[in-house]
């Protein structure tokens, strides 16, 4: 199994709360505010306007009517250029009558660094911008629209009342060696294959449960489902981050920060879904709920 090469660095608003000098309620409120700010930000998920998978070779883009990749909202109804995918590299060529910018400068052609790079290339045309995302050996153009109506029309995310009983101590039980695991995504045929250091075990009430953890840089990442999934929370599961433990393996799982994945807001994301082993046989009535009206 090939390890899926896609970015798993955490956005500051989605990461665990971490050390906090204020009361827990203040720190949780601050986390929620930062998360909402991130969702509405330039790199958030509310401005997504398209996801276009590239085939090997040339892929024309624009809104000419004959473009392979149709970018909505281009008033000129023109073909802007083409993306050429060759041997795992994407080069963008821009038709000379149009001005596509990268770092503020007009470009005629450029190799597009994808989102597994520390510095992905961002191209723009009017209110549209785009990057290349890499998922295993597949590449796609992720399109954003700074005037996306979702930004202005977004309603607050409903959540369960804060319940500190869902802020639990847990222990990481490491595998003999970290292993690559296979996880389905919302896109048929596209797997997510993260490295897992082991399983995290914790108690709720008098019952013991466990979740398989995924490595996410300085944190552990979980995609989990529970008995609220598909009823009050997102059917494919929710995301959760926790700070990595020390040598003793102890950490905190704060389900009050369980949150909807990007695909709960639009269809232009490539979210992993909760694996069968990460679907808990209990209701986790903490964290974000799912409102289909926000999609």
Quick: pLDDT tens for 59-103: 999 987 789 999 987 766 788 999 999 999 999 999 998 999 999
Nearest to 179 by CA among 165, 194, 191: 194
Least confident of 76-80, 83-87, 187-191, 226-230: 76-80
In whole angstroms, what is the distance from residue 29 CA to residue 81 CA? 45
pLDDT computed for residue 177 by the predictor: 97
Q: Which conformational region is residue 246 in: left (phi greater than 0), alpha (psi within -120 to 50 degrees), or beta?
A: beta
Dist. CA 141–CA 156, nearest whole Å: 29
- Give the Cα separation of 291 and 231 in Å (integer): 10
Q: Residue 24 above 90 pLDDT?
A: yes
* pLDDT at 9 (0 to 100): 47
Q: What is the C-alpha separation between 295 and 150, in angstroms, rounded?
A: 9
pLDDT digits (tens, 9 = 90+) for 238-261: 999 999 999 999 999 999 999 999
Which domains can be identified in the chain, with CATH numbers? Answer: 24-42+156-294 (no CATH), 48-147 (2.60.200.20)
Sheet holding 48-53, edge to edge: 48-53, 138-145, 128-135, 123-125, 100-102, 105-107
Query: Smallest Cα–Cα separation from 222: which of 248, 256, 199, 246?
Result: 199
Q: How confident is the model at residue 4 (pLDDT cuts 50, 70, 90)?
A: very low
Residue 5 pLDDT? 47
**Rounded CA gap, 282 and 277, in Å?**
13
Q: Are 102 and 122 in contact (CB under 8 A)?
A: yes
Q: What are 159-169's pLDDT values in tens digits? A: 999 999 999 99
The answer for residues whose C-beta is within 8 angstroms of residue 87's C-beta and 6 or more apart is none
Q: Share the mean pLDDT of the chain.
A: 91
Q: What pLDDT does 16 receive?
A: 84
Burial string for 268-288 (b: 16+ CB within 10 Å, else e) reads: bbbbbbbbeebbbeeebbbbb
How confident is the model over 8-22, as a mean pLDDT? Answer: 67
Q: Phi/psi of residue 256, each to 5°? A: -65, -15
Which has the closest alpha carbon to 221: 233, 212, 231? 212
**Of 291, 202, 187, 206, residue with least CA distance to 240:** 202
Q: What is the arrangement of strands in the sheet containing 238-243, beginning at the earlier edge strand?
A: 238-243, 219-224, 207-216, 195-204, 167-180, 250-254
Mean pLDDT of 203-230: 96
Buried b (16+ CB within 10 A) or exposed e, 93-130: bbeeeeebebeeeebeebebbbbeeeebbbbbbeebbb
């Amino acid at each position: 199994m090939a390890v899926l090469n896609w970015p798993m660095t955490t956005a500051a608003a989605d990461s665990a709360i971490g050390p906090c000098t204020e009361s827990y309620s203040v720190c949780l409120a601050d986390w929620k505010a930062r998360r909402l700010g991130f969702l509405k930000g330039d790199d958030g998920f509310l401005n997504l306007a398209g996801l276009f998978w590239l085939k090997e070779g040339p892929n024309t883009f624009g809104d000419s009517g004959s473009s392979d990749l149709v970018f909505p909202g281009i008033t000129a109804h023109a073909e802007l250029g083409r993306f050429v995918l060759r041997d795992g590299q994407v080069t963008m060529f821009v038709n000379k009558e149009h001005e596509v910018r990268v770092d503020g400068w007009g470009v005629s052609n450029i190799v597009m660094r994808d989102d597994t790079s520390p510095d992905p290339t961002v191209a723009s045309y009017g209110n549209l911008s785009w990057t290349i995302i890499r998922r295993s050996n597949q590449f796609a153009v992720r399109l954003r629209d700074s005037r996306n109506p979702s930004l202005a029309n977004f309603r607050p995310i409903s959540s369960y009342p804060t319940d500190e009983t869902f802020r639990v101590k847990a222990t990481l039980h490491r595998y003999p060696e970290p292993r690559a695991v296979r996880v389905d995504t919302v896109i048929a045929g596209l797997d997510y294959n993260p490295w897992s250091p082991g399983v995290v075990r914790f108690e709720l009430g008098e019952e013991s449960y466990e979740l398989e953890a995924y490595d996410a840089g300085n944190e552990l990442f979980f995609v989990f489902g529970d008995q609220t999934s598909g009823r009050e929370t997102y059917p494919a599961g929710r995301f959760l981050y926790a700070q990595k433990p020390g040598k003793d393996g102890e950490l905190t799982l704060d389900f009050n920060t369980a949150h909807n994945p990007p695909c709960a807001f639009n269809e232009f994301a490539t979210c992993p879904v909760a694996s069968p082993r990460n679907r808990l046989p209990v209701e986790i009535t903490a964290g974000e709920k799912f409102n289909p009206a926000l999609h």
